[in-house]
């Protein structure tokens, strides 16, 4: 076991020292697919909501390894549909936004001239900037924006591809804390983010 650990650390250190340092800065934007995930067994069905995100990224590394801090505005949410017979067609729309700051660590591989691929993962911290619930009359007494939390914490993991100065990222985000917590239920927000980016320098 010790020999295996030493071998892995040696390979990582060799990859780190054998490459050239780099710093990239750029802009990114894309689509956010989000839904609500409940910890309780409640009489609602979560439906996906489509939003967007836009912001900036940096990539700092040496050789194949990099750290990628970002900051972007993210339009999140989810639709909630009741399964009870009386309000089967009623839908509540949870519409909120945040400023998200992920810090990802990753590895670049299959580097061929102008194209390369990446794998990355890391924590994300979000700060709520707007909150609203847009219910039909059936839901007016059930949901209120006052139950939204001020911040969120989660994890991201994904894959990326760079082609010259442009990049494409696909990431999965899982919330660790509840973004909405009332007497009736609590819910987390899970996302899939698809981003296009351009490296400025």
Residue 181: predicted pLDDT: 85
DSSP class of residue 69 equals E
Nearest to 111 by CA among 65, 68, 69: 65
pLDDT at residue 69 tops 80: yes
pLDDT at residue 87 tops 60: no
| Alpha carbon distance 130, 21 (integer Å) | 39
Give the residue-averaged pLDDT of 132-149: 76
pTM of the model: 0.82
Residue 8: predicted pLDDT: 43
| Alpha carbon distance 37, 51 (integer Å) | 17
Please count the CA atoms within 13 angstroms of the CA of 89 that sit on its side-chain side. 0
pLDDT at residue 200 tops 70: yes
When pLDDT is cut at 50, 70 and 90, the band that residue 112 belongs to is confident
Residue 171: predicted pLDDT: 98
If 0-12 CB within 10 Å is exposed, 13-18 middle and 19+ buried, where does residue 21 land? exposed
For 1-36, write each residue's pLDDT tens digit: 555 445 544 545 555 555 678 899 999 999 999 998
Residue 138: predicted pLDDT: 61
For 43-61, write each residue's pLDDT tens digit: 778 888 999 999 999 999 9
Structural domains for the chain: 2-199 (2.40.160.20)
Q: How far is CA 35 from CA 20, 69, 179, in A?
A: 41, 24, 12
With a CB cutoff of 8 Å and minimum separation 6, the contacts of 188 are 36, 37, 38, 39, 174, 175, 176, 177, 178, 179
């Amino acid at each position: 076991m010790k020999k295996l650990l030493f071998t892995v650390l040696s390979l990582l250190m060799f990859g780190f020292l054998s490459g050239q340092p780099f710093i990239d800065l750029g802009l990114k934007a894309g689509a956010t697919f989000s839904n609500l995930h409940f910890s309780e067994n409640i009489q609602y069905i979560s439906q996906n909501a489509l939003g967007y995100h836009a912001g900036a990224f940096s990539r700092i590394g040496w050789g194949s390894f990099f750290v990628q801090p970002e900051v972007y505005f993210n339009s999140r949410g989810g639709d909630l549909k009741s399964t009870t017979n009386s309000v089967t067609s009623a839908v509540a729309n949870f519409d909120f936004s945040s400023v998200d700051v992920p810090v990802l660590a990753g590895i670049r591989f299959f580097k061929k001239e102008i194209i390369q691929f990446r794998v990355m993962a890391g924590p994300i911290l979000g700060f709520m900037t707007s909150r609203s619930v847009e219910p039909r009359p059936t839901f007016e007494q059930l949901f209120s924006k006052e139950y939204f939390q001020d911040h969120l914490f989660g994890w991201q993991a994904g894959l990326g591809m760079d082609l010259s100065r442009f990049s494409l990222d696909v990431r999965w985000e899982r919330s660790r804390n509840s973004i909405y917590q009332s007497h009736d239920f609590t819910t987390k927000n899970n996302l899939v983010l698809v981003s296009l980016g351009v490296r400025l320098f």
